[in-house]
Chain A
Amino acid sequence: MTKICCIVFSTLFLFTCAISAHAGDLDSFKGQKGTLKIAGGTAHIPVMKEAAKLIMQANPDLRITIAGGGSGVGIKQVGEGLIDIGNAGRKATDKEVSTYGLTMYKWAVDGVGVVVNPKNTVTKLTTAQLQDIFSGKISNWKELGGADRAINLYDRDAASGTRSVFWKKGLQKANVSTTANIVASNGAMKTAIAGDPYGIGFVSVGHIDASIAPVTLDGIAPSLENVKSGAFKVSRGLYSLTKGEAQGLAKLFIDFIFSPTGQDLVKAKGFVAVQ
């Protein structure tokens, strides 16, 4: 038992070391104090959490709090000054930028892929089929060559940036049935699809793992490579926003995300780094 523990611990230790390879990136946080509040886009959370962990480990005097809510919430709250950094999985609209005087920092590229449960035999869809599924016209998996079970739609709330990108680029602005179940984040979408053999939904490509199966859309799989090459069209940037130019801790944090360590984190969490 102790042996196993030792092995596990040392591997974990090595893993931690691997992420913080470029140790110099954390130097700028030395001597800093205070609290940084981050909220908004839920696709960003894994990267934010890991970055916060690294920073707080390097400097225990700092506190970084991370909340979800969705891109709309992130933009509004940072605009109102309730938080320091607002995350968004879509571009802020011109109106939002001008009302609040926001600055956008794009630190990763991501796609929004359609996903089903791995047990589902349907793995290919066309845009037309997708539109019919989400508008409720196709309501049984049988019509798509799957099991004779009703399709369970999963949708996100209106504040979601993932949803607005998916709706615009994936569904081509087609209607979405209001009977869909609503979940609150990318993580929740993944959980729901992983638990529902007859469900269909959409998540940030960075969140796709073995528990859910990506669906090929018009012949192109929602993979990191395809997002990178531009072949997969339903893609978007991941943004962090600040009110005015980023200052103080917020600036240090965003600089850290753009540093080699930060960008390694972005890659490790399944997104396309920008640098």
Chain B
Amino acid sequence: MNRATERGLTLLCWLCGLLPLAILCIVICYLLVRGGSSLNLALIFDRVPAMDALLGHQQVFDGLFPALCGTTMLVLLTLALALIPGLCGGIYLAEYASPLERRILGLLFDIIAGLPSIVIGLAGFSLSILLHRLFPGRFGPCMLLSAMALAFLILPYLVRSTQAALNSIPQSLRITGPALGASKLQNILLVLLPSRIQDIIGGIILAIGRAAEDTAVIMLTGAVASAGMFRSLLDQYEALPFYIYYISSQYTDAEELQRGFGAALVLFTLCGLIFLLALLVEQGFSRRWKR
């Protein structure tokens, strides 16, 4: 390989390598230029005073508030459903499972992690029809269903991050507890988990990010164009990602499009914040470990 080819390849690497950065910059700049001007309280609360909307005295119609609330509730509910099984699953895989179990379950979780989210949405949707058939009452696509589907979606993340965190514990720490007479469960709960708590929290935060941005699942399981404020778990709801998708394909006037850009910017910022939080937690962890 002569020098010229080498130089050429290096140049190519630089060009290719800086491309993602450039694209990210373009996306951010474009969003800021087009959506920056619409970032104010009216974007979220329309003309309703912020306090009134927050306290539920007045409903917001032409703002992002219902969508924001919907997304927040959805994420909280998803987390409530997925957190315990996810952590337990991770602990089981890392500490209790036999090698064979670990291989089979690991494979299953990898497959779940790889399933396209629309397939999970479809499964949720057919579950709703099935329930509707069995109990011909008022059960259809709703927030609870979306949360269940999303919980299924983020479960492998939780399991895998917990498992990885526990696996990375040095052997010396692992055997200290039992040597002092702690039972296996005591050792896990009181020594192993706390020692890697930041890793685990980091994993949870990233899973929250996943649940907050997913659109394909909720569009099949209960997100609608207009629903007003979120009120009950068995109702359909508005959500931020779906709102952005809806606006991009069918805004009716310039004002609505502007709100779409505002919404995209808000979602982008939210996910950025979630990422930053995860990063900070992780940094804190590695600093503590070095000491």
- Could you list which residues of chain A lie within 8 angstroms of chain B, going by C-beta atoms? 9, 12, 35, 37, 39, 42, 45-46, 48-49, 52-53, 56-57, 60, 63-68, 80-83, 183-188, 190-191, 207, 209
Contact = CB atoms under 8 A, between A and B. Distances in A.
Nearest to B56: A60
Contact of B226 (A52, A80, A81, A82): A52
Interface stretch (B74-82, B111-119, B161-169, B245-253): B245-253
Given A12-B47, A35-B235, A187-B251, A65 B224 contact: yes
Contact of B250 (A66, A67, A190): A190
Given A82-B132, A183-B249, A191-B249, A9 B47 contact: yes
Nearest to A64: B228
B34 to A, nearest CB: 14
Interface string B150-186: 0000000000000000000000000000000000000
A66 B61 contact: no
7 contacts: A52-B226, A65-B224, A66-B227, A81-B132, A187-B249, A187-B250, A187-B251
B71 interface: no
A63 B228 contact: yes
Nearest to A12: B47
Closest 8 pairs between A and B when the two form their complex, measured CB to CB: A187-B250, A67-B224, A65-B227, A188-B249, A188-B250, A65-B236, A66-B226, A82-B140
Interface string B180-219: 0000000000000000000000000000000000000000
Contacts of A82: 129, 132, 140-141
B228 A56 contact: yes
Contacts of A188: 249-250
B227 A63 contact: yes
Nearest to A39: B224
Contacts of A49: 225-226
Given A37-B140, A56-B59, A80-B132, A191 B227 contact: no
Given A49-B226, A81-B132, A63 B231 contact: yes
B59 A66 contact: no
Contacts of B250: 42, 184-188, 190-191
Contacts of A209: 253
B224 A66 contact: yes
Interface string B134-157: 001000110000000000000000
A157 to B, nearest CB: 13
Main DSSP-derived SS at the B contact region: loop
A67 B132 contact: no
Contacts of B226: 45, 48-49, 52, 64-66
Given A12-B47, A191-B251, A67 B236 contact: yes
Contacts of A53: 61
A183 B251 CA distance: 13
Interface string B93-129: 0000000000000000000000000000000000001
Interface in B37-80: 47, 59, 61
B235 A63 contact: yes
A52 B66 CA distance: 15
Contacts of B228: 52, 56, 63-65
A42 B232 CA distance: 26
A60 B251 contact: no
Interface string B253-265: 1000000000000
A42 B226 CA distance: 13
B235 A65 contact: yes
A63 B232 CA distance: 10
A187 B249 CA distance: 7
B184 to A, nearest CB: 49
Nearest to A66: B226
Residue in B231, B232, B250 whose Cβ sees the most chain A Cβ within 10 Å = B250
B134 to A, nearest CB: 13
Contacts of B136: 81
Nearest to A57: B59
A20 to B, nearest CB: 14
Contacts of B225: 45, 49, 66-68
B231 to A, nearest CB: 6
Contacts of B47: 9, 12
Given A80-B129, A184-B249, A207-B252, 15 more contacts: A37-B140, A39-B224, A45-B225, A46-B252, A52-B228, A56-B59, A56-B228, A60-B59, A63-B227, A63-B228, A65-B228, A66-B225, A66-B227, A185-B250, A188-B249
A271 to B, nearest CB: 14
A80 B126 CA distance: 13
Given A45-B225, A65-B226, A187 B252 contact: yes
A207 B235 CA distance: 29
Contacts of B252: 46, 187, 190, 207
A52 B224 CA distance: 14
Residue in B59, B235, B251, B252 whose Cβ sees the most chain A Cβ within 10 Å = B252
Contacts of A67: 224-225, 236
B98 to A, nearest CB: 45
Nearest to A84: B138
A263 B59 CA distance: 24
